[in-house]
Amino acid sequence: MSIELQFCGFNSLWGRLIPWFTQGNFRLNGRNYAISHVDAVLPPWHPKAGDLLGAHHQAGLGGRPAGVQIRPATYGATCGMKDRVRVSVPATPAQSFAFYHFILSQVDKPYDTSAVEALVFGRLVCRDWRDWAAWYCSELMAEGCGQSAVFRRPIAAASDKVPPPMLFVALSTMSDIRPLEKLAA
């Protein structure tokens, strides 16, 4: 059993700035990837299996408002999604259920704009990335990994942020990673 996450980049201003500010440029199988976002792939038991759950700042993606939402698996075809990589995180059935139960309980929470401010201005922005009132994409997934005990210990760094590249690197030590084909527009 596993938890499926999809990391990606976007052809947009933020899609270029986030990897730059967070060292989010990776080389995988001889190809460059600029990671700026992560969604969870809904599991087979969910009615919307295969669709993506994540936090976005932009309203209208997949016909959904901004914030934590379930979006169609193909929503990226219309908004410049690129560099898609699937990460299969090993999990027991109980861990997988706890992870998805947690992130599903966060649907309709707002997007945490202070996370992007913290990427740019660092410690000048006082915030707690574990605050459940609003979510940044990778922080939602990191908290899900913590709530489900996929992470054996809490994230050790006294960090005010967990950007997508940081989560990708942490999960790469324990997960299968596979690049995906480009989305057809």
State pLDDT tens for residues 61-97: 888 999 999 999 999 888 888 888 999 999 999 999 9
Tokens at 43, concatenated: 């599991």
Q: Are residues 78 and 12 in contact, defined by beta-carbon separation less than 8 angstroms? A: no
- pLDDT score for 160: 75
Q: Domain for residue 184, yes or no?
A: no
User: How buried is residue 44: exposed, middle or buried, by Cβ count under 10 Å (0-12/13-18/19+)?
Assistant: exposed
Domain with 85, as residue range(s), is: 2-179
- pLDDT score for 21: 67
Cβ neighbours of residue 16 under 8 Å, at least 6 residues apart? 34, 36
How many residues in total does the chain contain?
185
Q: Positive or negative, the Cα torsion across 22, 23, 25, 27?
A: negative
Low-confidence ranges of the chain (pLDDT < 70): 15, 19, 21-22, 122-125, 156-159, 183-185
Q: Are residues 50 and 41 in contact, defined by beta-carbon separation less than 8 angstroms? A: yes
- pLDDT score for 25: 75
Tokens at 167, concatenated: 């989560």
Strands of the chain, DSSP E: 2-10, 25-28, 31-34, 37-41, 52-56, 67-71, 81-90, 176-179
Closest to 139 (Cα-Cα) out of 150, 151, 125, 128:
128
- pLDDT score for 12: 75
Pairing of strands 81-90, 67-71: unpaired
pTM assigned to the model: 0.90
Number of domains in the chain: 1
Q: Domain for residue 30, yes or no?
A: yes
Integer Cα distance of 36 and 44 in angstroms: 26
- pLDDT score for 139: 94
Residue 79 belongs to a domain with what CATH number?
3.90.1720
Cβ neighbours of residue 48 under 8 Å, at least 6 residues apart? 42, 70
- pLDDT score for 183: 66
Q: Domain for residue 172, yes or no?
A: yes
Q: Domain for residue 185, yes or no?
A: no
